[in-house]
Amino acid sequence: MPPRKRTRPTLGFLCCFSSSEPPEINLKDSVPLQLLEFSAPMPPEEELHARFSELVDELDLTDKNREAMFALPAEKKWQIYCSKKKEQEDPNKLATSWPDYYIDRINSMAAMQTLFAFDEDEMEMRNKVVEDLKTALRTQPMRFVTRFIELDGLTCLLNFLKSMDYETSESRIHTSIIGCIKALMNNSQGRAHVLAHPQSINTISQSLRQDNIKTKVAVLEILGAVCLVPDGHKKVLQAMVHYQKYAAERTRFQSLLNELDRSTGHYRDEVNLKTAIMSFINAVLNAGVGEDSLEFRLHLRYEFLMLGIQPVIEKLRAHDNATLDRHLDFFEIVRNEDELELAKRFDITHVDTKSAGQMFELIKKKLSNTDAYTHLLSILQHCLQMPYKRGAGSIQQWQLLDRILQQIVLQDEKGENPDVSPLDNFNTLEQGTEPPTAPQAPQHWLPTTPGVCSGCVCVHYCVCALGWVKCRAQIPSMGYHTWPHKETGSTDDLYVSSRKVKELSVIDGRRAQNCVILLSKLKMSNEEIKRAILEMDEREELAKDMLEQLLKFVPEKSDIDLLEEHKYELERMARADRFLFEMSRIDHYQQRLQSLFFKKKFAERLAEIKPKVEAILCASREVMRSKRLTQVLEVVLAFGNFMNKGQRGNAYGFKVSSLNKIIDTKSSIDRNITMLHYLIMIFEKNYPDILNIQQDLATVPEAAKVNLAELEKEVFVIRSGLKALEAELRYQQSRACDRGDKFVPVVSDFITVASFSFSELEELLAEAKDKFSKSLKHFGEEEGCMQPDEFFGIFDIFLQSFSEARHDLENMQRRKEEEERRMRMEAMLKDQREREKRAKKSTGGSVSEEVGEFDDLVSALRSGEVFDKDSKLKRNRKRSVNQLVDGGGRERPVTKVNY
């Protein structure tokens, strides 16, 4: 065979070409090959060979197909040559034999679609132009594709995709344009050109937003196949990030999961779309870096699992479609394999990635005797200080921490991330914050609120949570500068005005400043504050926190003495001095404030204490009345006596503190199975009602949080407060009432109601203590030896362990069923491959419906053949896993973090 005139890039793997069967000759013309009457006699062998070589080069065939073509008899070669030449010379095709025609027509269509509304016939004509181009890209000689690339035909197609109106985007034209790109990629040069284009894959991904199912399926098949070609996988991930922004998704892949879960009511279209989505997801997970990297597969799969793919997969089983089930099975098979491999690193059989507790214990166990343990503690300590309230600012900081960890796990030896870099353009500040153009020296960064401060010593850039503001800040030559909060008003209102030269101040400067800040928050005059206190704040003008702050600024005796000396200079007094002086004129000012604060806090304190008392009372009743708990204890006692035969057996009972020891009693055969697991299996088989034990002990978890000594202390504080309030009432009743003073009537009514409510609380507490004492006696514990949090905490831990053990058993059963299903599926697939192989041998091979490498790859991806056990992808996976196991489960060294 003569040497090739040009070289062509090869795909990373093509499972459909990996068999030992003779390659098929894939030729597809616009008309089928026929036995033709030769218009000219067959030339000599050497000339025929030269002409045929030129034709084969034009067809852009693979090496194996080229060999098959050259192995044909001379007569067959001449027949093929004449057939192709006759087609090329057809006068009806001369006008459309060059890409110039199609590019001009498509450009015109793009320009006209925004100007005119087309009827059905015109839309059909427009679609025919695009369909003809798709056919030409598949069947015309290589020079057609080369010319199409030189004329930037790809950009023409991409621009059409970007400029479509809604009607066109939902029509067959859209699907046909995608088909043209797919046909172009079926050619080696065309495929390289598409992949080299900086925006091609991104633009193609935008077509996922349309409602046309055929368009979505075509796009997903292209993206899935691109994942499988060299350097294509990361481009697809980048395209999905681009699509996330384009479609305003919360996360990438969100729309795909929504489509996977959505029901359209049309079985065939729905199954086709869901199959395309699942084949794409499997390609994203397992191709590219995913062929060899367990970390990468786990990383991407967690993203899909957090979007809720697992329950959707169970739902898709209802379609009962063999091809779809094949992709679903492959997803779950590889997931199980990866989870087993992850578990091997921790010397266990399964890692429950839904359980924060188990994952923490595994990490703790692995690092406990290493130098990294102190860093784990540091990470946890700082996590305790992370924001936890709901809001955009809070979640972004947790996202940043998450993405830093992803970067560490995924980066390769060069510190590069095979996924789209998770730290690109990431900012924990709110959107719209931009840094100054010029960097500033570190000592010039000052925290402040947005605004411009008076003074002009130096100019600084200041950073805050709301934005970057340019601030002219006057730095005092002595002391320090206090930056006011936004709500406290301007500096003139708070501090500067209080330091006028003629103002008189006799109290401590720092105390005066803090007092002024408090008064500015109150936004009330001294007269209004005085009136509110005398009226016991009937108008609800003083909030509880403001009253608590006012109690910090009660005039002291030394303040009162100094202020009395200057009472004739009241107009000259600074604001804080005038406030303290006027408040000191109120009789029993401090006692009035304390009474008002107690009155406002009383209902809140009662509401905090009462549920704790009720929890002890209800939990005491529950543990004594629960038949299910009694049955559990009976079975545990029976097992204990059976296991402790001899002197330690035949016990009449056991301490409740021993209950949770069954959690630590492990099987000698499987260390992951505890006595509690075995008990639950017994309950499921013989006493299924016991499994509902948590219904009997619903209040126990709350009671486990209550310390009786602290509870009695809180009740004592309320009792003391009521007594102090009654004493102040008697004092106020003994003196003449000032005008506007409503202390006596308001407090009298309050004490009447509050005393009744408090008496109820004391009675409830006495009953709870009595029930708790009886529950201790019921379980053989001495009164006074255990607090409620300790006693009920034993049952609470047992209930948690009981729930976790049931979850463990469910997972074990699920994994067992999945393994059995996987084995059945593999056996079925093996049998199917054998039948296909025998059928192919018996027919001697047939012409493929689709032509070219990319079409073969799409076809293999669609059917799931690309994920078969015998494919290169699976062989690479197996090899990488074996290397990992042979390496003793060692982890690769962590390289630098690039961010």
> Domains of the chain (ranges plus CATH)?
45-54+63-89 (no CATH), 509-604 (1.20.58), 606-792 (1.20.58.2220)
pLDDT tens sequence across 819-875: 888 788 777 777 776 776 676 566 544 333 334 578 778 888 888 777 765 555 554
Residue 278: what pLDDT? 94
350: left (phi over 0), alpha (psi -120 to 50) or beta: beta
How many Å apart are CA 839 and CA 858, to the nearest integer?
Answer: 22
Residue 81: what pLDDT? 76
In contact, 238 and 420? CB cutoff 8 Å: yes
Burial of 622: CB neighbours in 10 Å, binned 0-12, 13-18, 19+:
buried
Residue 473: what pLDDT? 33
Q: Which of 861, 837, 864, 834 is nearest to 850 (CA)?
A: 861
Residue 614: what pLDDT? 94
Q: Which of 725, 748, 752, 753 is nearest to 588 (CA)?
A: 725
How many Å apart are CA 820 and CA 814, to the nearest integer?
Answer: 10
Residue 474: what pLDDT? 33
Q: Can you tell me the mean pLDDT for 202-210?
A: 92
pLDDT tens sequence across 674-720: 888 889 999 988 889 999 999 999 999 999 999 888 999 999 999 99
pLDDT tens sequence across 462-478: 333 323 333 333 333 33
Residue 353: what pLDDT? 79
Q: Can you tell me the mean pLDDT for 320-325?
A: 88
Q: Please provide the average confidence, as pLDDT, over all residues in the chain.
A: 76
Residue 453: what pLDDT? 39
Residue 350: what pLDDT? 78
Which residues, in sequence order, are CB contacts of 520 under 8 Å at separation 6+?
488, 489, 493, 494
Residue 763: what pLDDT? 93
Burial of 804: CB neighbours in 10 Å, binned 0-12, 13-18, 19+:
middle
Q: Is residue 586 pLDDT above 80, yes or no?
A: yes
Residue 115: what pLDDT? 57
The confidence band for 47, taking pLDDT boundaries of 50, 70 and 90, is confident
Residue 143: what pLDDT? 84
In contact, 195 and 232? CB cutoff 8 Å: yes
**Which sign, positive or negative, has the C-alpha torsion 213, 214, 217, 219?**
negative
The confidence band for 179, taking pLDDT boundaries of 50, 70 and 90, is very high
Residue 699: what pLDDT? 92
In contact, 417 and 293? CB cutoff 8 Å: no
**Predicted TM-score (pTM) above 0.85:** no
The identity of residue 567, as a single letter, is K
Residue 155: what pLDDT? 92
Please give the torsion angle defined by the CA atoms of residues 797, 799, 800 and 805, in that order, rounded to the nearest 10 degrees: 120
Residue 624: what pLDDT? 92
Q: Is residue 552 pLDDT above 80, yes or no?
A: yes
Q: Can you tell me the mean pLDDT for 438-455?
A: 37
How many Å apart are CA 361 and CA 408, to the nearest integer?
Answer: 21
Residue 482: what pLDDT? 34
Residue 769: what pLDDT? 92
In contact, 877 and 885? CB cutoff 8 Å: no
Q: Is residue 59 pLDDT above 70, yes or no?
A: no
According to DSSP, the residues that pair with 331 across neighbouring strands are none
The confidence band for 25, taking pLDDT boundaries of 50, 70 and 90, is very low
Percentage of the chain exceeding pLDDT 70: 76
The confidence band for 62, taking pLDDT boundaries of 50, 70 and 90, is low
Considering 30-44, 148-162, 510-524, the range whose residues carry the highest mean pLDDT is 148-162
Longest dimension (CA), the chain: 136
Q: Can you tell me the mean pLDDT for 666-675?
A: 79
Q: Can you tell me the mean pLDDT for 53-68?
A: 72
Q: Can you tell me the mean pLDDT for 174-196?
A: 90
The confidence band for 240, taking pLDDT boundaries of 50, 70 and 90, is very high
Residue 339: what pLDDT? 87
How many Å apart are CA 21 and CA 531, to the nearest integer?
Answer: 100
The full length of the chain comes to 899
Query: Range with the lowest mean pLDDT among 101-115, 591-605, 803-817?
Result: 101-115
Residue 612: what pLDDT? 93
The confidence band for 36, taking pLDDT boundaries of 50, 70 and 90, is very low
DSSP label of 573: B
> What Cα–Cα distance (Å) separates residue 682 from each residue in 658, 695, 696, 803, 875?
20, 19, 20, 15, 43
